[in-house]
Chains A and B, each alone.
Chain A
Amino acid sequence: QAGLTQPPSVSKGLRQTATLTCTGNSNNVGNQGAAWLQQHRGHPPKLLSYRNNNRPSGISERLSASRSGNTASLTITGLQPEDEADYYCSAWDSSLSVWVFGGGTKLTVL
């Protein structure tokens, strides 16, 4: 079961904007949209957005998600030290009836 494709790492400066990408296919990201999760070392993942740009309560407005075709994106503006974490995308694959995850992107805030 092939996963979603994410760049392994992204580095940006403090207060800059980072855009993370996640590429799938028409059966997962292109069909159901993607969810984004944040994971700090030693902690469980935390949902940041679902179905492309719906934010759970309590999630910062500095985060926004979008989708274009089979690629989902997560944009974080005004980067803060606490944004440094691993970010994962996930989607339901309607053809395979499985959840698929991206390999994760390590975001470093310089």
Chain B
Amino acid sequence: EVQLLESGGGLVQPGGSLRLSCAASGFTFNNYAMGWVRQAPGRGLEWVSSISGSGRDTFYADSVKGRFTISRDNFKNTLYLQMNSLRAEDTAEYYCTKDSGSYDYWGQGTLVTVST
């Protein structure tokens, strides 16, 4: 059974940093691209970033480019999102997703709140 378990969310002040993690199990992790998708309270889904199975190729939404870094550890079956220079508009539930040509599995999400 595929499982994606996010962690690392919390309350952070504007300008601060957080590192999200996603522990994956139930599939051959390095065979699949992975992604992060977020959802602000009461809003729709917004793609944040994707990474290829090898970790060599990364992609970012314009809204986070230069501030967020996606990475993965294929030995630990774990996906990461390093978030720097956080802004109030980054407040959202962050979902880890498995990409098999479409986002076929989603984690339960971890909430990031950027506020004073």
Q: Could you list which residues of chain A lie within 8 angstroms of chain B, going by C-beta atoms?
A: 1, 35, 37, 39, 44-47, 50-51, 56, 86, 88, 90, 97-104
Contact = CB atoms under 8 A, between A and B. Distances in A.
Contact of B102 (A44, A47, A103, A104): A47
Contacts of A100: 47
B50 interface: yes
B116 to A, nearest CB: 27
A56 B2 CA distance: 14
10 contacts: A37-B45, A39-B45, A45-B106, A47-B103, A50-B102, A86-B44, A97-B59, A99-B47, A99-B50, A104-B44
Interface in B43-82: 44-47, 50, 59, 61-62
Interface centre among B62, B102, B105 (most CB of A within 10 A): B102
Contact of A44 (B47, B59, B62, B108): B108
A98 B108 CA distance: 23
Interchain residue pairs A-B with the least CB separation, the first 6: A35-B102, A50-B102, A99-B47, A44-B106, A104-B44, A101-B45
A78 to B, nearest CB: 25
Given A47-B105, A86-B44, A97-B59, 9 more contacts: A44-B106, A44-B107, A44-B108, A44-B109, A51-B102, A100-B47, A101-B44, A101-B47, A103-B44
A41 B101 CA distance: 25
B49 to A, nearest CB: 9
B29 interface: no
A88 B104 contact: no
Interface in B13-65: 35, 37, 44-47, 50, 59, 61-62
A51 B44 contact: no
Nearest to A45: B106
Contacts of B50: 99
